[in-house]
Chains A and B, each alone.
Chain A
């Protein structure tokens, strides 16, 4: 599985949405991406890439696109 597939899976499984919803997806734009959903997403990303995200990055993770940028800090290239 590629990093992009892992990344997309984390979003799709956390929020029960299809890949077609991912581009442009931002925090709180759908019901499932509330604060609890956010932490589910973080857990899914941490599991998928075997990382432990800093709190600042968790707060900054405000969109599907922003997440890709943040993961670069953890040497994960999407």
Chain B
């Protein structure tokens, strides 16, 4: 049945506690997918969400605590997952941070490093570790959450846009290397989505961006998750190396 597109599959999803990552986890669970939810902190509400999803969808969801700025933490987290000796069918790198909208000349280098570390380095480090497992299985789907800001021409948030552009380039390059092992690597580039990240824009900036979107509205995390579901499933079995924009026609 199409509504259970990922029945019996197992996915690692970073940034699963909030926003786009959470929406992906929810949709994957509804599609029959078990999830390792990579988070850096938890709360009661998150555990409640997990319990509810497990009961409603007949899947398991296991929180895995990883500090994405730390290689040791990433390795430990992947080790915990591999010790379960279960196949890893899907990896979604959805975790991301954004620093306040400001010009490059007013940005601290430590902020640049942190954004690159969380948004890009941690994602490729996870891919390096998880793809080893996928190579054994001779199959896997990796999805990176990029951003249309990677192609934007406005002057602020250089580090965020650069980290997302790097992720899109890595997607292309890695799809070449991992394709022969049966692993597909794709990216989704959301436009302006209704998440907490919007708080970093002021009202004028939001109005301006909204005017440039063909559909004249923000997207929802669920709309991004639907595209990820397609890329995770066998429905996209001949798609790799692509970055699919989910931006309501903002970048035409």
A residues lining the B interface (CB < 8 Å): 35-36, 39-40, 42-43, 46-47, 52, 54-55
Contact = CB atoms under 8 A, between A and B. Distances in A.
A52 B136 CA distance: 13
B135 interface: yes
A24 B135 CA distance: 26
Interface of B: 75, 79, 82, 128, 131-133, 135-136, 177, 180-181
Contact of A43 (B75, B135, B177): B135
B221 to A, nearest CB: 33
B79 A35 contact: no
Contact of B79 (A39, A52, A55): A52
B82 to A, nearest CB: 6
Contacts of B132: 39, 42-43, 46
A55 B124 CA distance: 13
The DSSP consensus for interface residues of chain A is helix
Given A36-B181, A43-B135, 19 more contacts: A35-B177, A36-B135, A36-B177, A36-B180, A39-B131, A39-B132, A39-B135, A39-B181, A40-B135, A40-B136, A42-B132, A43-B132, A43-B133, A43-B136, A46-B132, A52-B79, A52-B82, A54-B75, A55-B128
10 contacts: A35-B177, A36-B177, A39-B135, A40-B135, A40-B136, A42-B132, A43-B132, A47-B136, A52-B82, A54-B75
B181 to A, nearest CB: 5
Contacts, number: 22
B92 to A, nearest CB: 21
A55 B132 CA distance: 11
A39 B132 CA distance: 6
Nearest to A34: B180
A54 B133 CA distance: 14
Contacts of A52: 79, 82
Contacts of A42: 132
A33 to B, nearest CB: 14
Contacts of B128: 55
B60 to A, nearest CB: 23
A36 B134 CA distance: 12
Contacts of A40: 135-136
A67 B177 CA distance: 23
Nearest to B78: A52
Q: Which of A35, A36, A46 has its CB near the most chain B CB atoms (within 10 A)?
A: A36
A76 to B, nearest CB: 17
B135 to A, nearest CB: 5
Nearest to A54: B75
A22 to B, nearest CB: 22
Contacts of A55: 128
A72 B115 CA distance: 37
The 3 tightest CB contacts between A and B, nearest first, are A43-B136, A39-B135, A36-B180
A51 B75 CA distance: 13
Nearest to A39: B135
